[in-house]
Amino acid sequence: MNEPLKYAYYPGCASQAITKEANSTTRKIAQVLGIELYDMPKANCCGAGLLTDYDYDLSIALNARIFAQAEEMGMDIMTICSTCLMVMSTANRDLKNNPHLFKKTNEILTGAGIRYNGTVEIKQLLWVLAEDYGLDKLKNKVKKPLKNLRVAPFYGCHSLRPSDALGFDDPERPWSLEAVIEALGAEVTEYNGKTKCCGFQVDLVAEGAAVEMTGKRLLDAKGEGGRCMVTPCPFCHINLDNYQGMAERKLSQKIDMPVFHLSQLVGLALGMTAEELELSRHLVSTKHVLAETKVII
């Protein structure tokens, strides 16, 4: 019997508020799969890149504080947010590659009674499923294969880039999300734009461009026959789902593309109900597509 996988669990800010369903459904699938998630009640926000726009050293120190907690717990970090993944991995890369920064950061942390030794790795739920847990094991757990469901994978930016900091998938020919979709018994829809930006970062700064970007990704996926989308990132979900109505108005066409969190798609294949997966929290209804494909009647 192998030891169960254990992670210091970092859901990120969005999934503790606006996309709560990503957090709660991740906990549910982890329980079924036997992945142990340990809370980090002290963990602060990674800064989502905005702290880097203010003060690089502050951003690094606050991220190191998160890593130090995981180090204390003796675990690697698993997040369900691609932006957290990117920000934390970039900070961790810089800390590990730059001895001067490492020293300076620990001097700052000492003032708060903290030390980071540089032993933690940052992972995303997607990677945990595709690699640590394993696709074969995941397949074995599937109770209700998602037959006939054509799923368009949406990576967005931060689960793939910068590749030298993330070091997992290939941003030019990614495979992990497709592999998980197939392991769940669903069909992958290939389309242009699956590794591009959803526009989230400028929602409040350049809303027009953000909405247009969101619409473009959704229409690309729809044009290739995708019936729904799945994303490993809650920020992408906010734009693809919550902003879809605005995108329809801006581009003057109906899109009607339900968007699942990765954890929800896994949950469906594990046989969970719409209530358990909190699908009613989506702005674009998932009912039709799930009824059509007899996933949830």
By the criterion CB under 8 A, which residues form the site for other proteins? 13-14, 16-20, 41-45, 47-58, 61-62, 65, 86, 108-109, 111-114, 157-158, 161-163, 171-173, 196-197, 199-202, 204-206, 209-210, 212-213, 216, 242, 245-246, 280-283
Separation of alpha carbons 109 and 74, rounded Å: 19
CB of residue 143 to other proteins, shortest distance in Å: 27
- Which of 1, 204 has the CB closer to other proteins? 204
CB of residue 3 to other proteins, shortest distance in Å: 28
CB of residue 160 to other proteins, shortest distance in Å: 8
CB of residue 131 to other proteins, shortest distance in Å: 20
- Which of 45, 135 has the CB closer to other proteins? 45
CB of residue 72 to other proteins, shortest distance in Å: 12
In the block, which residue shows the tokens 């926000």?
45
CB of residue 165 to other proteins, shortest distance in Å: 9
CB of residue 268 to other proteins, shortest distance in Å: 19
- Which of 4, 111 has the CB closer to other proteins? 111
- Which of 209, 291 has the CB closer to other proteins? 209
Q: What tokens were used for 122? A: 């940052």
- Which of 44, 253 has the CB closer to other proteins? 44
Residue (of 173, 68, 143, 145) closest to 110 by Cα position: 68
Separation of alpha carbons 110 and 61, rounded Å: 11
- Which of 54, 136 has the CB closer to other proteins? 54
Separation of alpha carbons 148 and 292, rounded Å: 9
- Which of 22, 186 has the CB closer to other proteins? 22
Task: Show the 3-state SS of the chain.
Answer: CCCCCEEEEECCCHHHCCCHHHHHHHHHHHHHHCCEEEECCCCCCCCCCCCCCCCHHHHHHHHHHHHHHHHHHCCCEEECCHHHHHHHHHHHHHHHHCHHHHHHHHHHHHCCCCCCCCCCCEEEHHHHHHHHHHHHHHHHHCCCCCCCCEEEECCCCCCCCCHHHHCCCCCCCCCHHHHHHHHCCCEECCCCCCCCCCCHHHCCCCHHHHHHHHHHHHHHHHHCCCCEEEECCHHHHHHHHHCHHHHHHHHCCCCCCCEEEHHHHHHHHCCCCCCCCCHHHCCCCCHHHHHHCCCCC
- Which of 142, 202 has the CB closer to other proteins? 202
CB of residue 273 to other proteins, shortest distance in Å: 17
